[in-house]
A and B are shown apart, each in its own frame.
Chain A
């Protein structure tokens, strides 16, 4: 089975622009979560989607949004980019939701905002 894939792998944007990142979960997985990783803040939870509905949301401003499609693929969007949005964005998928579910992470998209 193919793992979680994320596109693009690397991205350079300038302040004020917007960006859309894509995540394709493992086949059959219906839950997708997004995380931001920076050297200063570590790994921070952004949001989780299950069956096209947002289940959980972390403490990020409204500039960060996401959605999930009927085939479980997910996108996240960041509008009005700031320098501090430079980070590794990780996507993880799991079969279902729940505290015992294992999450499988993709390789991430590295975003650099200039």
Chain B
């Protein structure tokens, strides 16, 4: 299975941007990069995904390095509700099941 590496935890102040990094040095050319997050006492929820180009949606932006060996999830203006565990996941066309790692626990300081 393709692997990702994320920091165990991060802190950010409310109303400031947050950059969550993810390393995936063994990514193959057809792997999609997905981000999910899990708020306390809830199931995971989809955040964003991309293949090669940067992506934006109402929740966040995904910046993908040119060599695709790393990516960054950007929350433009963090709120207390964004405190969650964020998972960076690679999905392969040969075996597209979602394999969750440990993720990054994001703490938002008021």
Q: Is the CB of B43 within 8 A of A92?
A: yes
Least distance between A50 CB and chain B CB atoms (Å): 11
The secondary-structure label for the interface of chain B is: loop
In the complex, which range does the number of interface residues on chain B fall in?
20 to 34
Instruction: Please give the distance in Å from A42's CB to the nearest CB on chain B.
Output: 6
- Chain A CB within 8 A of B45 CB: yes
B49 at the interface (CB under 8 A from A): yes
Q: Are B46 and A33 closer than 8 Å at their CB atoms?
A: no
By a CB distance below 8 angstroms, the chain B residues around A99 are 30-32, 91-93, 96
Q: How many residues of A contact B (CB 8 A)?
A: 24
Bound complex: CA of A35 vs CA of B102, how far in Å?
A: 14
B44 and A90 within 8 A (CB): yes
B residues 12-32 near A (Cβ < 8 Å) are 30-32
Interface of A with B (CB < 8 Å)? 4, 33, 35, 42-45, 48, 56, 58, 90, 92, 97-108
22 residue pairs of the A-B complex, CB under 8 angstroms, read A4-B43, A33-B97, A33-B98, A42-B100, A42-B102, A56-B97, A58-B97, A90-B43, A92-B44, A97-B96, A99-B30, A99-B31, A99-B32, A99-B91, A99-B93, A99-B96, A100-B49, A100-B91, A102-B49, A104-B46, A106-B43, A107-B43
